[in-house]
């Protein structure tokens, strides 16, 4: 009979050997998604806060440059401008600001907040670099074919490169659109044409009618690349990418690229479908109110008819009393 100590030793040994780089990759990807959501909210709070002090400061694509200005700039202090980088100095507004004069203690609190947030953005960049480097080692074919970030999203969504390799191309095509697929199976709505694959650069500018075909081509090549990364470990991504680009180019040459008018029409149709869905949900949610109102109106109509006929009705305490006419 195996003793308890032997079982504990066996479990500890299995835990030590159960380390997988894929697990770390999935945790890192989840951490990046969480950080993106938190950083967006924190940056919005800093921007709304700093508008009181310097409303003329423009929005820039690099948020770290904006936060550097918030962290170091002090009105009337030329030394604070010299301590900033050239990019931060270039976005500073010229002339006198119409913002309020904040006390030094309040400004220091805002600057400390911006300093910590800037450090979080740097940590987010380092984590993103780790993810790109790691997914390049785990799935070199997939990374070369569709890019590091999209490959990471597919591996995380499938919970491993081997599970992704065992999936059919049709499942990979709609991965990330599970809700739309469920609505199609239950309520017989239109099936989804693509999921996470829509983030692939080749999907940009494709007409709506051709997106399903392009997504199917990309999903088929992803399935082959994932099998190569999981089992054979042969680098075949260059050949797969050439075949994929050629097939997509043939589709685009026949149908053409989506024009700005097509994209605008698609946006309007999407907004209209969204409004119709909200109206249907609101009608279904409030239907009980209309039914109750209808029953109340019918009941009032019947009661008025009984009163007009002088019939007996139920009074308080359940006793019958003679209904008198209205005066």
128 and 45 assigned to the same domain: yes
Q: Does residue 266 lie within any of the structural domains? A: no
Beta bridge partner(s), residue 313: 321
Choose one of 134, 168, 193: the last residue of a domain: 134
Give the pLDDT mean for 93-122.
88
Q: Is the pLDDT of residue 267 over 70?
A: yes
Burial class (CB in 10 A: 0-12, 13-18, 19+), 323: middle
Choose one of 235, 256, 277: the last residue of a domain: 256
What pLDDT, on the 0 to 100 scale, is given for residue 316? Answer: 47
21 and 129 assigned to the same domain: yes
Give the pLDDT mean for 194-222.
90
Q: Under 8 Å CB-to-CB from 201, ≥6 apart: which residues?
A: 147
66 and 149 assigned to the same domain: no
118 and 165 assigned to the same domain: no
Taking only the tens place, the pLDDT of each residue in 123-135 is 999 999 999 899 9
Residue 311 vs residue 153, higher pLDDT:
153
Closest to 89 measured CA to CA, from 57, 61, 127: 57
Q: Is the pLDDT of residue 223 over 80?
A: yes
Asked if residues 118 and 70 have their Cβ atoms less than 8 Å apart, the reply is no
327 pLDDT tier (thresholds 50, 70, 90): very low
How distant, in Å, are the alpha carbons of 174, 198, 264, 275, 311 from that of 269? Answer: 22, 18, 9, 10, 58
- Using a pLDDT cut of 90, give the percent of the chain over it: 34
Q: Does residue 272 lie within any of the structural domains? A: no
Q: What is the DSSP letter of 208?
A: G
What pLDDT, on the 0 to 100 scale, is given for residue 291? Answer: 61
Closest to 223 measured CA to CA, from 292, 273, 154, 271: 154
Residue 219 vs residue 284, higher pLDDT:
219
173 and 90 assigned to the same domain: no
Show the domain range for 167.
140-256
Q: Does residue 21 lie within any of the structural domains? A: yes
Asked if residues 323 and 313 have their Cβ atoms less than 8 Å apart, the reply is yes
Residue ranges of E strands in the chain = 313-314, 320-321
Q: Is the pLDDT of residue 293 over 80?
A: no
Give the pLDDT mean for 248-271.
81
Q: Does residue 263 lie within any of the structural domains? A: no
Q: Does residue 98 lie within any of the structural domains? A: yes
Q: Is the pLDDT of residue 112 over 60?
A: yes
Asked if residues 258 and 205 have their Cβ atoms less than 8 Å apart, the reply is yes
215 and 147 assigned to the same domain: yes
Give the pLDDT mean for 211-234.
93
Q: Is the pLDDT of residue 320 over 50?
A: no
185 and 245 assigned to the same domain: yes
144 and 211 assigned to the same domain: yes
165 and 81 assigned to the same domain: no
Choose one of 103, 134, 165: the last residue of a domain: 134
Taking only the tens place, the pLDDT of each residue in 132-185 is 899 988 999 999 999 998 999 999 999 889 999 999 999 999 998 888 888 888
258's tokens: 């989506």
Q: Does residue 10 lie within any of the structural domains? A: no
What pLDDT, on the 0 to 100 scale, is given for residue 172? Answer: 93
Across the chain, which distance is largest between two alpha carbons, in Å? Answer: 96
Query: How many domains does the chain divide into?
Result: 2
Q: Is the pLDDT of residue 295 over 80?
A: no
CA-CA distance, 74 to 53, in Å (whole number)? 10
110 and 86 assigned to the same domain: yes
107 and 214 assigned to the same domain: no
Tally Cβ neighbours within 10 Å of residue 252. Answer: 17
Q: Is the pLDDT of residue 239 over 70?
A: yes
Q: Does residue 30 lie within any of the structural domains? A: yes
For residue 29, give the H/E element and its range.
helix 21-50
CATH assignment at residue 178: 1.10.246.90
Q: Is the pLDDT of residue 206 over 60?
A: yes
Taking only the tens place, the pLDDT of each residue in 56-107 is 888 888 899 999 988 888 888 888 888 888 888 888 888 777 888 888 888 8
308 pLDDT tier (thresholds 50, 70, 90): low
CA-CA distance, 61 to 64, in Å (whole number)? 9
Q: Does residue 173 lie within any of the structural domains? A: yes
What pLDDT, on the 0 to 100 scale, is given for residue 317? Answer: 47
CATH assignment at residue 86: 1.10.287.4070
276's tokens: 């119709």
Q: Is the pLDDT of residue 264 over 90?
A: no
Asked if residues 260 and 283 have their Cβ atoms less than 8 Å apart, the reply is no
Q: 313 φ, ψ to 5°?
A: -130, 170
154 and 95 assigned to the same domain: no
What pLDDT, on the 0 to 100 scale, is given for residue 44? Answer: 92
CA 187 to chain centre: 24
296 pLDDT tier (thresholds 50, 70, 90): low
Weakest mean pLDDT among 158-162, 238-242, 264-268, 288-292: 288-292
């Amino acid at each position: 009979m195996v003793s308890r100590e032997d079982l504990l030793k066996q479990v500890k040994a299995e835990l030590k050997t159960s380390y997988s780089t894929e697990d770390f990759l999935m945790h890192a990807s989840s951490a990046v998604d969480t950080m993106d959501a938190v950083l967006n909210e924190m940056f919005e709070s800093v921007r709304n806060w700093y508008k009181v002090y310097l409303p003329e400061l423009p929005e820039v694509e690099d948020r770290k440059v904006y936060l550097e200005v918030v962290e170091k700039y002090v009105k009337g202090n030329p030394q604070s401008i010299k301590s900033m980088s050239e990019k931060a100095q270039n976005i500073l507004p010229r002339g006198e600001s119409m913002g309020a004069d904040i006390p030094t203690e309040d400004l220091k609190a805002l600057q400390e907040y911006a300093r910590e947030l800037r450090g979080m953005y740097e940590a987010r960049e380092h984590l993103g670099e780790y993810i790109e480097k790691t997914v390049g080692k785990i799935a070199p074919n997939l990374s070369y074919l569709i890019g590091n970030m999209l490959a990471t999203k597919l591996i995380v969504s499938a919970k491993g490169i081997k599970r992704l390799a065992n999936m059919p191309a049709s499942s990979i095509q709609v991965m990330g659109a599970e809700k739309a697929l469920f609505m199609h199976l239950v309520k017989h709505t239109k099936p989804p044409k693509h999921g996470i694959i829509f983030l692939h650069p080749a999907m940009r500018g494709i007409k709506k009618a051709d997106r399903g075909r392009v997504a199917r081509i990309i999903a088929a090549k992803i399935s082959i690349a994932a099998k190569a990364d999981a089992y054979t470990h042969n680098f075949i991504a260059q050949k797969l990418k050439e075949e994929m680009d050629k097939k997509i180019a043939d589709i685009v040459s026949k149908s053409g690229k989506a024009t700005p008018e097509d994209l605008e029409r698609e946006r309007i149709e999407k907004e209209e479908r969204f409004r119709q869905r909200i109206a249907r949900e609101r009608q279904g949610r409030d239907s009980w109110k209309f039914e109750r109102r209808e029953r109340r109106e019918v009941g009032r109509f019947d009661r008025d008819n009984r009163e007009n006929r002088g019939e007996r009705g139920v009074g308080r305490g359940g006793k019958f009393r003679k209904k008198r006419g209205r005066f």
